[in-house]
Amino acid sequence: SLRIRYYKGEAFSPWLSSLHSLRVLSLEVCYCQVLPSLGKLASLESLTIYHLIRVSKVGVEFLGIEQGKTSSSSIFISF
């Protein structure tokens, strides 16, 4: 499990998306504007997002999908 609290960076580090065995993640009171790509974390069972007031949009990049790489017939399984 991993809990990140009071992180003041503009974006989360890319290594966060490489924690493939991570089961529990909590992001609390962070100042980032973009959520990390977490969709490829197949072992993730619990995700808590609390008080990330600068995040204004959650797009497909959150699931680990690159913009423009999906179609209506695509099947994508994420955590």
Chain segment 20-77, per-residue pLDDT in tens:
999 999 999 999 998 888 888 889 999 999 999 999 888 887 887 766 555 555 666 6
* E strands, 1-79, in order: 2-5, 24-28, 46-50
- Report how far Cα 74 is from the mean position of its chain's Cα atoms: 20
Could you give phi then psi for residue 3, rounded to 5 degrees?
A: -125, 125
Q: Are strands 46-50 and 2-5 parallel, antiparallel or unpaired?
A: unpaired
Which residue type is seen at 36? P
Q: pTM of the prediction?
A: 0.79
